[in-house]
Amino acid sequence: MVGVLVVDDHEQFRGAARELIEATPGFEAVGEAASGEEALRMLQSLDPDLVLLDVRLPGMNGIQTAARITSDHPHPTVFLVSVDEPADLPMGAASCGAATFIRKRELRPRELRRLWAEHGRAGITPTT
């Protein structure tokens, strides 16, 4: 199973993402955080394989959070998510260490599995 931590300041999106993850064979939601700071605190205890990380967060934004996660916690793969188009993302999105970017409206079970197959850690394959 691929354990997923969802990080978004909107409770409604976290709930929708949790349902999507649970509906995707081989993936399980292991936690939710409403901020980058909260996600960093949760990483040690949850040890997720994947972090779905909103770009626009209050306080420490998703770009800053992704950079901290990838430098301090090499285990999880980070996928940035946003309602914005890639060209509208803050500077630094390309160099924050995230594996890929997906628009929230495109996040579906099939797309999650495809992105994991392309960018996920070797040796962790979701069961079907």
Which structural domain, as residue segments, surrounds residue 74?
Answer: 2-119
Residue 91 gets the label, from left (phi > 0), alpha (psi -120 to 50) or beta, of beta
pLDDT digits (tens, 9 = 90+) for 9-33: 999 999 999 999 999 999 999 999 9
Structure-block tokens of residue 117? 């197959």
Residues 52-63: tens digit of each pLDDT? 999 999 999 999
How open is the CA angle 62-90-29, to the nearest 5 degrees?
25
- What is the rounded CA–CA span in Å between residue 80 and residue 23? 20
Number of domains in the chain: 1
Domain with 49 in it: what CATH number? 3.40.50.2300
